[in-house]
Amino acid sequence: MSILHTVNKSPFERNSLESCLKFATPGASVLLFEDGIYAALSGTRIEPQVAAALDQITIHVLGPDLRARGFSPERLIAGISVVDYAGFVDLAAEHDVVQAWL
């Protein structure tokens, strides 16, 4: 069974991402959106945690939320891909379960 985990809170304000990465198992996907996109940026205090997680899980970030907050894909940690709204829907459809880390 595969899970799509979604995180929409800033990793600097809540422990949503931390819990998500703790419980996500190899093969799972994570979608970062809204304030969750800040976790995908390189050079942050939490980059090592996120980069380490990429060995086991795939991480996506929602482009519209990234651009709204002033960042372009060049600022992302290598290995994180950008999806649009349709891509978000596809991800949800491809996985058996969606777990939202509110």
Partner 1 sequence: MSEVVKKFMYLNRKAPYGTIYAWESLEVVLVGAAFDQDVSVMFVDDGVYQLTKAQDTKEIGMKNFSPTYRTLGDYEIKKVYVDRDSLAARGLTQDDLVAIAWEDMETEEEVDNIVEVIDSARVSALMNESAAIFSF
Contact set with partner 1 (CB under 8 A): 8-10, 12-13, 34-35, 38, 41-45, 47, 63-65, 67-72
**For residues 28 and 77, which CB has a smaller minimum distance to partner 1 in the complex?**
77
**For residues 75 and 97, which CB has a smaller minimum distance to partner 1 in the complex?**
75
Strand-pair category, 97-101 with 3-7: parallel
Q: From the CB of 98, what's the least distance to partner 1, in Å? A: 19
DSSP states of 43-90: TSTTHHHHHHHTTTSEEEEEHHHHHHTT--GGGBPTT-EEE-HHHHHH
**For residues 18 and 47, which CB has a smaller minimum distance to partner 1 in the complex?**
47
